[in-house]
């Protein structure tokens, strides 16, 4: 199957067409589509686009325990640069894991402060897939449209090689603390509404889904 046909299939799933994978809750990780006017707007002044180091580590302190991510820029340089700048901006501090599908993925990347999510909702170009979606791989989520990655990411809970053909390009991996990732609660599954999180942030999640696990801090390792 070509990448175009894979993307078309993904689009149908996101539009609500039934499929066995959808019934299992394993539709590809997707982010809410940014309005066209927003996607075409220049990046706000708060956005930075510094080049990431060739390799770097990020220390994440989760509500479930510490996690260390190792990023290899050559695997997906555009995604690695965006992630590097998001971490430096403290974008992930307080962010909830709003989509958890056991045996598939855990998704995050909508900020605690909705203004932060809206400021960084500026799409970046796609990277070619050079690494497989193995357990522990860190990857940007996207809509069915090409070049639509913004700030949402997921960590593969199992080997998900089928996502390779769909264009999901891993750029990092969990090198320590995968047990903390496995502990992230899945009691709410895919119930949290991404658009509501984007516009209301943690005010919405704390009221409607108070037991979601979250990122306390995310920092570039020295």
Give pLDDT, residue 15: 24
DSSP category for residue 188: T
Between CA 41 and CA 35 the distance in angstroms is: 10
pTM of the predicted model as reported, rounded to 2 decimal places: 0.84
Task: Write the pLDDT tens digit of every residue in 47-86.
Answer: 899 999 999 999 999 999 999 999 999 999 999 999 999 9
pLDDT per position as a tens digit, 113-130: 999 999 999 999 999 999
Q: What is the pLDDT of residues 173-198, one digit of tens each?
A: 999 999 999 999 999 999 999 999 99
Q: Nearest Cα to 63, choosing from 27, 117, 28, 112?
A: 112
With 0-12 / 13-18 / 19 or more C-beta atoms within 10 angstroms meaning exposed / middle / buried, residue 161 is exposed
Task: Using CA atoms of 125, 216, 27, 179 in order, give the dihedral in degrees to the nearest 10.
Answer: 120
The superfamily in CATH containing domain 3-220 is Cyclophilin-like (2.40.100.10)
Run of H or E residues at 171: strand 170-176
């Amino acid at each position: 199957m070509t990448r175009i046909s894979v993307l078309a299939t993904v689009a149908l799933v996101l539009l609500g067409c039934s499929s066995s994978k959808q019934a299992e809750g394993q539709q590809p990780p997707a982010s809410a589509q940014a309005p066209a006017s927003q996607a075409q707007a220049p990046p706000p002044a708060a956005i930075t686009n510094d080049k990431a180091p060739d390799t770097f580590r990020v220390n994440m302190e989760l509500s479930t325990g510490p996690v260390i991510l190792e990023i290899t820029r050559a695997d997906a340089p555009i995604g690695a640069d965006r992630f590097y700048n998001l971490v430096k901006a403290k974008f992930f501090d307080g962010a909830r894991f709003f989509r958890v599908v056991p045996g598939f993925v855990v998704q995050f990347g909508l900020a605690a402060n909705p203004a932060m999510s809206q400021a960084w909702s500026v799409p970046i170009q796609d990277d070619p897939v050079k690494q497989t979606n193995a357990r522990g791989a860190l990857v940007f989520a996207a809509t069915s449209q090409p070049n639509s990655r913004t700030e949402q990411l997921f960590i593969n809970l199992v080997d998900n090689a089928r996502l390779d053909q769909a264009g999901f390009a891993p750029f990092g991996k969990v090198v320590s603390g995968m047990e903390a990732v496995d502990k992230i609660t899945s009691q709410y599954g895919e119930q949290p509404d991404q658009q509501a999180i984007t516009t209301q942030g943690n005010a919405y999640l704390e009221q409607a889904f108070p037991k979601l696990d979250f990122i306390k801090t995310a920092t570039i390792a020295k």
